[in-house]
Amino acid sequence: MRNELNLTGFIVFSEGKPVGFLLGEPLNDETYTIHFAKADISFKGAYQFLFSHFANYYCPDYRYMNQEQDMGHEGLRKTKLSYRPDLMAHKHRISIISS
């Protein structure tokens, strides 16, 4: 996957079982984009561990980490804000209403 699509995956295991994973790719020389991440929340701190270790191991030379949109989910927005982002883009949806 890394060579063909330039994507990097990361999986965290506990006692031989997967606890969490994420998938991302460089956006440019300064920004690394995380497309998605999932973790078993029964493991306290699984998401924090996942993001922290991925950032330290795979992204030490990137200035920014883009975790994409929160899709309107308040919990996801709250989590992303807890990382104290430098910038959050404001998104809007436009729908075409046919008559």
Question: Which of 54, 49, 47 has the alpha carbon at shortest distance from 24?
Answer: 54
Question: CA geometry: angle at 19 spanning 14 and 21, to 5°?
Answer: 125
Structural domains in the chain, CATH included, are 2-81 (3.40.630.30)
Cα–Cα distance, 37 to 11 (Å, whole number):
10
Cα–Cα distance, 80 to 69 (Å, whole number):
9
Per-residue pLDDT of the chain in tens (99 residues, 90 and over written 9): 567 888 888 899 999 999 999 999 999 999 888 888 899 999 998 988 998 898 898 888 999 888 776 667 677 677 666 667 677 667 777 888 887
Question: Which of 88, 86, 89, 31 has the alpha carbon at shortest distance from 64?
Answer: 31
- pLDDT of amino acid 29: 94
- pLDDT of amino acid 1: 55
